[in-house]
């Protein structure tokens, strides 16, 4: 230290440097104080570490729970260290296979070592009166599952649990009780409760979208909500049918070989745009089935060209290729040629092909009836089956008798309602026929059997033919297979009756009686004369 210049302003010690007001000790203390800051954990003035932003003591943390640790060489706190020691003592239980602490007495874990609670003794069910295991409400399991009050109790509990229950919840419960069994309806109410208690808004349209399941089916709850909301004007129907149709079309496009796929995809896009324009204009748009059938035909043609003809471009297709493709399925020639004409016309407009190879081709198909009919022995056998065999399903007997004796189409039988039956006159109204159809005793008996079978279904469906799939009001492809047991399709049975009527009566009278177009019965006229009907010399 140099010569004393002045005294320190803080402690009064000598200061040996010019221009300084503090001694060396005070200067050191001031530098250390400037390097310190308030620790965010302990609040003391300490030197903070750059890596943690805390002081040295507060920076010592447990690597698992981030709890403060006292010792500098410790990585875990006391609690985590004890848990780690206990984890090293865990072993796999030989009974359940899960890690646990084995007991010396049993050699198993604690859950497996504890004795199981004994089953309650059977009780007398207060509904069926049988000695069975008790399930709830004094009922056995089968009776408890069929208890209708379960649904309303669960709905009341849900309403009491919600802060702002929707007004339609009570009506929806009644809607479920009339269309589903109590067990399924209770599961739907439980799932609906999880949707209503979430943080999302409880608007009907929002609930309907959130209730949908991904995949081909939207689920029973979404279907029930869609029927309920759309019937009361609370929400719009879902686009499930459009999604399924789009998936079917995309699968057909993906099956087209890659060199020929862009043209087919462009053709599908143009057809979809035409369908949307027709819907906006109020005209008759092409159905999804028509669009899918066209894509299937183009898929088959593309596979045929690549595998059989060795052509990878639509511009190389000629009339011989189209003719060879049409000969693979002669019965579908007319339908296939119509689709191919539309496709190549669109491709030529888009400059994908220069020449339309289908321009000079014709369908060369007659409009005459080419279907199969039943012989008289087969008709007698079916009549005896549907009138004398009680083991035949009532639906099969009714559909068969109406087709065999009255020429009823499948859609006429499917749309037959209870209000169309006149029990006094024993007549029914079938489809668009201008007059009621009088039923013979055999057909009337089959109808009565079908009505007796319908009484077993608690349904609001007004139609006569009600099944498990149609009792809720939804249509099902049921009549296509209702006559599978007898071995003959409904169209074949109906065609037999129409051929007989048209060839024995005036076709105009048949058209007037059946509500058909006057030109429709002409296709059933035979091109030959039965020899047994000619006058014998």
Torsion angles phi and psi, residue 68, rounded to 5: -60, 140
- Both 207 and 294 in one domain: the answer is no
Provide long-range contacts, Cβ within 8 A and 24+ apart, for 521-529.
523/367, 523/368, 523/369, 524/369, 524/495, 524/498, 524/499, 525/368, 525/369, 526/499, 527/368
Rounded CA gap, 223 and 212, in Å?
Answer: 8
User: 364 lies in a domain?
Assistant: no
pLDDT, averaged across the chain? 87
Q: 263 near 269, Cβ under 8 Å?
A: no
User: 490 lies in a domain?
Assistant: yes
Nearest CA among 237, 158, 148 for reference residue 185 = 148
Nearest CA among 288, 302, 297 for reference residue 248 = 288
- Both 206 and 303 in one domain: the answer is no
User: 97 lies in a domain?
Assistant: no
Helix runs in 282-332, H state only: 288-304, 319-326
- Both 449 and 412 in one domain: the answer is yes
Number of helices (H), then strands (E), in the chain: 21, 13
- Out of 231, 260, 285, a domain closes at 231
The pLDDT score that the predictor gives to residue 473 is 47
- Out of 231, 251, 266, a domain closes at 231
User: 371 lies in a domain?
Assistant: no
User: 95 lies in a domain?
Assistant: no
Question: What H or E segment, with its residue span, contains residue 124?
Answer: strand 123-124
- Number of structural domains found in the chain: 5
Pairing assessment for the beta strands 45-46 and 91-92 based on DSSP bridges: unpaired
Torsion angles phi and psi, residue 7, rounded to 5: -95, 150
- Out of 196, 231, 266, a domain closes at 231
Question: What H or E segment, with its residue span, contains residue 281?
Answer: helix 261-281
The pLDDT score that the predictor gives to residue 205 is 92
Residues 6+ apart with CB under 8 A from 472: 179, 227, 459, 461
Q: 336 near 328, Cβ under 8 Å?
A: no
Rounded CA gap, 401 and 443, in Å?
Answer: 6
Calculate ∠ Cα 14-17-22, nearest 5°: 55
- Both 424 and 516 in one domain: the answer is yes
SS3 label, residue 4? coil
In this structure, the number of other CB atoms found within 10 A of the CB of residue 118 comes to: 6
- Both 73 and 135 in one domain: the answer is no
Q: 102 near 108, Cβ under 8 Å?
A: yes
Residues of the chain with pLDDT under 70: 1-3, 5, 364-367, 469-476, 526-537
Q: What is the DSSP letter of 308?
A: I
The tokens for 364 are: 């060369």
Overall pTM surpassing 0.75 (yes/no): no
Helix 182-196, helix 149-161: angle, nearest 10: 10
The pLDDT score that the predictor gives to residue 251 is 95
- Both 295 and 199 in one domain: the answer is no
- Both 7 and 42 in one domain: the answer is no
pLDDT tens-digit readout, 207-260: 999 999 888 888 999 999 999 999 999 999 988 889 999 999 999 999 999 999
Nearest CA among 517, 521, 506 for reference residue 368 = 521
- Both 211 and 266 in one domain: the answer is no
- Both 80 and 165 in one domain: the answer is no
- Both 431 and 343 in one domain: the answer is no
User: 136 lies in a domain?
Assistant: yes
Q: Count Cβ neighbours within 10 Å for each residue of 372-383 and write b for 16 or more, e otherwise.
A: ebbeeebbeebe
Q: What is the DSSP letter of 533?
A: G
Q: 336 near 326, Cβ under 8 Å?
A: yes
CA 503 to chain centre: 48
Domain of 21 in residue numbering reads as 1-26
CATH number of the domain to which 509 belongs = 1.10.443.10
User: 432 lies in a domain?
Assistant: yes
- Both 418 and 503 in one domain: the answer is yes
- Both 297 and 436 in one domain: the answer is no
């Amino acid at each position: 230290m140099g010569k004393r210049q002045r005294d320190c302003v803080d402690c009064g010690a000598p200061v040996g440097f010019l221009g300084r007001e503090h001694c060396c000790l005070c200067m050191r203390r001031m530098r250390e104080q400037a390097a310190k800051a308030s620790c965010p954990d302990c609040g003391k003035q300490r030197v903070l570490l750059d890596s943690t932003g805390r002081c040295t003591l507060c920076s010592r943390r447990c690597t698992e729970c981030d709890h403060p640790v006292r010792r500098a060489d410790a990585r875990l706190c006391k609690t985590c260290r004890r848990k780690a020691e206990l984890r090293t003592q865990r072993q796999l239980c030989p009974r359940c296979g899960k890690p646990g602490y084995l007991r010396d007495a049993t050699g198993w874990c604690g859950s497996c070592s504890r004795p199981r609670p004994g089953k309650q003794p059977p009780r007398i069910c207060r509904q069926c009166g049988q000695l069975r295991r008790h399930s709830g409400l004094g009922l056995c399991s089968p009776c408890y599952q069929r208890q209708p009050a379960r649904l309303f109790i669960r709905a009341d509990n849900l309403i009491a649990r919600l802060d702002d229950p929707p007004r339609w919840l009570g009506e929806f419960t009644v809607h479920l009780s009339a269309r589903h069994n109590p067990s399924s309806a209770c599961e739907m109410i439980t799932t609906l409760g999880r949707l209503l208690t979430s943080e999302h808004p409880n608007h009907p349209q929002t609930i309907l979208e959130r209730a949908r399941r991904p995949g081909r089916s939207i689920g029973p709850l979404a279907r029930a909500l869609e029927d309920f909301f759309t019937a009361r004007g609370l929400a719009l129907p879902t686009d499930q049918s459009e999604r399924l149709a789009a998936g079917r079309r995309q699968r057909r496009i993906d099956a087209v070989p890659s060199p020929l796929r862009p043209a087919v995809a462009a053709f599908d896009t143009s057809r979809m745009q035409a369908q949307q324009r027709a819907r906006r204009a109020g005209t008759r748009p092409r159905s999804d089935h028509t669009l899918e059938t066209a894509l299937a035909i183009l898929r088959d043609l593309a596979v045929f060209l690549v595998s059989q003809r060795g052509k990878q471009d639509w511009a190389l297709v000629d009339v011989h290729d189209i003719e060879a493709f049409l000969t693979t399925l002669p019965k579908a020639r007319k339908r296939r040629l119509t689709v191919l004409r539309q496709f190549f016309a669109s491709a030529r407009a888009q400059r994908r092909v220069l020449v339309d190879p289908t321009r000079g081709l014709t369908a060369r198909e007659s409009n005459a009836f080419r279907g199969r009919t039943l012989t008289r022995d087969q008709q007698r056998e079916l009549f005896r089956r549907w009138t004398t065999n009680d083991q035949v399903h009532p639906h099969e007997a009714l559909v068969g008798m109406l087709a065999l004796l009255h020429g009823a189409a499948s859609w006429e039988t499917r749309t037959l309602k209870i209000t169309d039956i006149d029990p006094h006159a024993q007549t029914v109204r079938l489809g668009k026929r201008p007059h009621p159809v009088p039923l013979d005793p055999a057909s009337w008996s089959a109808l009565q059997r079908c009505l007796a079978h319908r009484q077993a279904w608690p349904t609001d469906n007004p139609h006569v033919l009600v099944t498990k799939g149609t009792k809720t009001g939804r249509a099902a492809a049921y009549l296509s297979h209702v006559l599978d047991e007898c071995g003959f399709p409904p169209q074949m049975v109906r065609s037999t009756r129409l051929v007989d009527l048209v060839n024995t009566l005036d076709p105009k009278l048949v058209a007037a009686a059946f509500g058909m177009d006057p030109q429709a019965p002409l296709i059933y006229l035979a091109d030959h004369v039965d020899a047994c009907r000619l006058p014998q010399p």
